[in-house]
Chains A and B, each alone.
Chain A
């Protein structure tokens, strides 16, 4: 497997000894550095299938590890640990515990689609990143990322009203992630905007954030979409073998409250 951008030797597996003699040979000091051997025995053979069952992950099996995705990646340029090629490799090999080492950064994919543009095998790595983030959250390996909270709030607003009002979206997102709306940079931005904004527009913006915009004739679409999203979520849990678990938890909870 050609691996150029990721070392498989971890710094914590490098060993040096100040005083060590092996079979009469002095191997003390930095010049004889050892690599701690590592054995992987906890393969999750269903990992690739599980990722492929989630939206975006469908084409992970096509990957031939050329690394074009990582080479093109926007986030990789900022953080070299963000490595789509490597994660696709781990999934295909079933190396779940290795994948979990990076679980806190996988959601940071910015969906710029540079990987998908560069990929010669139509793996759609951007979609795979989304499937990985969902998998981590569904399996309970991570909490919902701020990005997922934003996506859900956004989509709920669309389903309810057919349109988005950005002020409301921002307030709700900051509330759901426990952040203050009065961030100094947001306040500064508002200050600069107010300096030259006409009163008429301000009134209009204020009104639209109170009276959220709606698409007309939306009720039918709203009902159809809510039902569909509900169905899909149940389907994803089933595919990951989580449906039984949730049912058991639900029964436990109702049993406890009944008793």
Chain B
């Protein structure tokens, strides 16, 4: 990773998104604490709105493009910044998709411009803002070597299944910087989370369902399907020997938690693997307290496993 990029990412705009103010609050909290501990500046996008999540596009795809473009516009015009970091896979995906559509689809660009004019927002010009995920942010701004130097305690060989979900890598065309040679992220077999957690002292298990779907889009509207998909992921992680599943998306995270409980209640299938945000793990490895990284806010209670390993 070039020095340039590392410097550029030391101070970025921060777009938490709706889920991180609700069910994903622990992810918000641990991400901010991690930034603070590592000396990275996060400047929250003022007056941000929902990116459209998985739902607005089904009412109309261009509604989602407008919603996401508005966040990019606020970053460029209100903050005057050119990098926005989104920890939520859904937000990250939608911002990347808006960027791609505005640059490549004149129909989308025309509708978004018209809506922005009517709404009285400043227009967004594609190329003005780069959207990065929390994983890309940490990997570029800190990197494995620096992380190893700053480790206080580390993860002590904790067995981790790294779970990336769908929206971080698919579809390929909205992530032009991925699959672009050494050092870049892979869409077929992503590894940024593996790299960071390994540097923090975790033992990553060979987990075949890194990018499998948890059914997050239908977590409430088709719960039986979601429970089956989640159970697949939980059981595969256990079979691979994982003690915890590390997550990077609030929808995946709460989906795994919710349907782990639902599988117990509805199918009588109990799984013991714990679910935890990768930022919580990194925070603990840096010596932050369990409370600071919001461990008490998780439904899936990993405290016993972490204590047994001597991580907390």
Query: Do chains A and B stick together as partners?
Result: yes
The distance from the CB of B295 to the nearest CB of chain A, in whole angstroms, is 9
For residue A221, which residue of chain B has the nearest CB?
B119
Q: For the side of the interface on B, what is the size category?
A: 35 or more
Residues of A within 8 A of B170 (CB): 112-114, 116-117
Interface residues of A in 164-211 (CB under 8 A from B): 164-167, 170, 173-174, 177, 184-185, 188-189, 192-193, 195-198, 201, 205, 208
A209 smallest CB distance to B (angstroms): 9
Question: Which of B128-136, B219-227, B268-276 contacts its partner?
Answer: B219-227
B120 within 8 A of A: yes
Q: Does B172 contact A (CB under 8 A)?
A: yes
C-alpha spacing A256/B72, complex, angstroms = 51
How many angstroms between the C-alpha atoms of A185 and B120 in the bound complex? 45
A29 at the interface (CB under 8 A from B): no
Asked whether, in the complex, the Cβ of A155 is within 8 Å of the Cβ of B301, the reply is: no
Q: Are A166 and B23 interface neighbours, CB within 8 A? A: yes
Q: Which of A114, A148, A150, A215 contacts B49 (CB 8 A)?
A: A215
Determine whether the beta carbon of B22 is less than 8 Å from that of A166. Answer: yes
Most A CB contacts (10 A, CB to CB) among B19, B166, B169 go to B166
Contacting residues, chain A, for B229 (C-beta < 8 A): 74, 78, 110
Chain A residue numbers with a CB within 8 Å of B172 are 117
Whether a CB of chain B sits under 8 angstroms from the CB of A229 is yes
Q: A74-B213, A112-B166, A220-B118 are in contact. Are A228 and B60 (CB under 8 A)?
A: yes
- Determine if B171 and A113 form an interchain contact, defined as CB atoms under 8 angstroms apart: yes
Q: How large is the interface on A (under 10, 10 to 19, 20 to 34, 35 or more residues)?
A: 35 or more
Confirm or deny: B43 has a beta carbon within 8 angstroms of a beta carbon on chain A: no
Residue of B nearest to A213 (CB): B21
Contact string, B87-114, partner A, CB cutoff 8 A, digits 1/0?
0000000000000000000000001000
B242 CB within 8 Å of chain A:
no
Q: Does A56 lie within 8 Å of B60, measured CB to CB?
A: no
CB neighbours (8 Å) of A184 from chain B are 265
Main secondary structure, interface of A, reads: helix
User: Which single residue of chain A is at the shortest CB-CB distance from B26?
Assistant: A201
CA distance A193 to B66 in the complex (A): 35
Chain B positions within 8 Å of A55 at CB level: 57, 60-62
A130 interface residue, CB < 8 Å from B?
A: yes
What is the CB-to-nearest-CB distance from A157 to chain B, in angstroms, rounded to a whole number? 8
- Evaluate contact between A224 and B54: CB separation under 8 angstroms: no
Chain A neighbourhood of B77, CB < 8 A:
none
Q: A56-B61, A189-B258, A228-B115 are in contact. Are A110 and B215 (CB under 8 A)?
A: yes
Is A154 on the interface with B (CB-CB < 8 A)? yes
Provided the pairs A111-B54, A224-B119 are in contact, do residues A198 and B296 lie with their beta carbons within 8 angstroms?
A: yes
Q: Which of B25, B111, B296, B299 has the most CB of A within 10 A?
A: B299
Q: For A79, give the chain B residue with the smallest CB separation.
A: B225
CB-CB under 8 A from B225, the residues of chain A are: 75, 78, 108, 110
23 example contacts (A-B, Cβ-Cβ < 8 A) are as follows A78-B228, A108-B218, A110-B213, A110-B222, A124-B171, A147-B221, A152-B59, A155-B59, A155-B63, A162-B50, A163-B21, A164-B19, A166-B22, A185-B265, A189-B257, A189-B261, A197-B296, A198-B296, A201-B297, A208-B22, A220-B119, A228-B63, A229-B60
Starting from the known contacts A193-B297, A232-B60, 7 additional A-B residue pairs (CB-CB under 8 Å) come to A55-B61, A111-B54, A189-B299, A192-B301, A208-B22, A225-B66, A228-B63
